[in-house]
Structure 1
Amino acid sequence: MHREDFTLCNHKLSLFQAEKADCPLIVFHSFSDEGEAVYQELRKQNAAECNFLSIAIHDWQREMSPWPAAALSKDGEDFSGGADAYLESLLSAILPWATERIHGKASFIGIAGYSLAGLFALYALYKTDVFTRVASMSGSLWFPGIKEFCKENAMKILPEKLYLSIGDKESKTRHPILQTMQENTEDLLKYFKSMGIETTYEVNPGNHFQDVNLRCAKGILELLQ
């Protein structure tokens, strides 16, 4: 395994290159720089060889949110809806940089993320046909309007595999918006299955902050099967 770090479009990139040619490329968005820990967890779980591109997202509320929405708390930051602009950078600059550096051609390109990045991974299916496998771990499917958006719009490509997960305590909260997370996730699960998409759903023990790296690795492992 060879690691290359680079900064492009104001994002810190870490590309873990597979030794073999023509291995899959997994694009993973992280809140800071936990990509290394997730990649090591994948190795610990004996994952199939892949190219792993970790992208550190610093303006989380902007770049991972599909449209503007109010903050979840008085002290929180509003969501400013910059996902389309970020996706343009990902497709036009970041992905070409990565695909030039891997051996051969990726057998498929998958996208994965946790929390808001899990929401973004799902949203990307409606904007581009580049990603054929998607993992949304504890994805923020409480986000206002996302369930309706998914049902009222057509995906650019039906993914070969889709993975959704949630923690069993994530919806056990007093916050009325966050309470919808499991209900929305399971409603969309049924909808995606009705479209004929091969969808895996996993309920993990704990709240939103438990075993994050392991949960991310489990979702990516599913994409690599």
Structure 2
Amino acid sequence: MTKSLKERYDFTDDVQVILGGYSLAGLFSLWSAYKSKTFSGIAAASPSVWFNGWEEFINNNTPLSKTIYLSLGDTEEKTKNKVMSVVGDNIRKQEELLKNDKINTILEWNKGGHFSDSDLRVAKAFVWCIENV
């Protein structure tokens, strides 16, 4: 039998576990919010919500994490790449669905494109989660 993260490391129930990442790791973190109750918070900085099938997934699933941070660069949706240009609409839809599900969430817009200040954006995401779980 597979042990949960809290069982494996003998965490007490009050330990808050936050999962997060940038770009595709941000999308994985969001996906994990729908698949596991382990995570108290999700820090999804510039998540790849343009990914094929993501909109259908979020329309048909409910998140299990109760605190989710979202961010995007203010020029990310202005790409000429047709597939990736939906990232802005998709992140807005993500925020709307999370709010409808009564998830403690925020969508922050950062200056620049996808590759601007990724380290600072991830740090900001984790800080928000730590302060809000």
Question: Could you state the TM-score of these two structures normalised by the residue count of structure 1?
Answer: 0.53
Asked which structure has the greater RCO (Cα within 8 Å, sep 6+), the reply is: 2
Q: What is the match of residue 121 of structure 2?
A: 215
Q: What is the match of residue 38 of structure 2?
A: 130
Deviation at 1:151, TM superposition (A): 1.2
Deviation at 1:160, TM superposition (A): 2.8
**How much identity, in percent, do the aligned residues show?**
34
Q: Alignment partner of 1:144: what SS?
A: coil
Q: Is residue 45–residue 72 contact of structure 2 (8 Å, CA) maintained in 1?
A: yes
Deviation at 1:216, TM superposition (A): 0.2
For 1:216 and 1:137, how far apart are their aligned partners in 2?
Answer: 6
Which aligned pairs between 1:1-225 and structure 2 lie closer than 5 A?
Answer: 95=5, 99=9, 105=12, 107-155=15-63, 157=64, 159-225=65-131
Structure 1 runs (4+) greater than 3 angstroms displaced: 95-98
For 1:98 and 1:92, how far apart are their aligned partners in 2?
Answer: 6
Over residues 202-222 of structure 1, what are the superposed CA-to-partner deviations in whole Å (9 max), with x where a residue is unaligned? 000011111011000000000
Which structure's CA Rg is the greater one?
1
For 1:198 and 1:154, how far apart are their aligned partners in 2?
Answer: 14
Q: Select the structure that is richer in strand.
A: 1
Unaligned runs of 5+ in 1: 1-90
Q: What is the root-mean-square deviation of aligned Cα atoms in Å?
A: 2.0
Aligned length: 129
Over residues 49-77 of structure 1, what are the superposed CA-to-partner deviations in whole Å (9 max), with x where a residue is unaligned? xxxxxxxxxxxxxxxxxxxxxxxxxxxxx
Unaligned runs of 5+ in 2: none
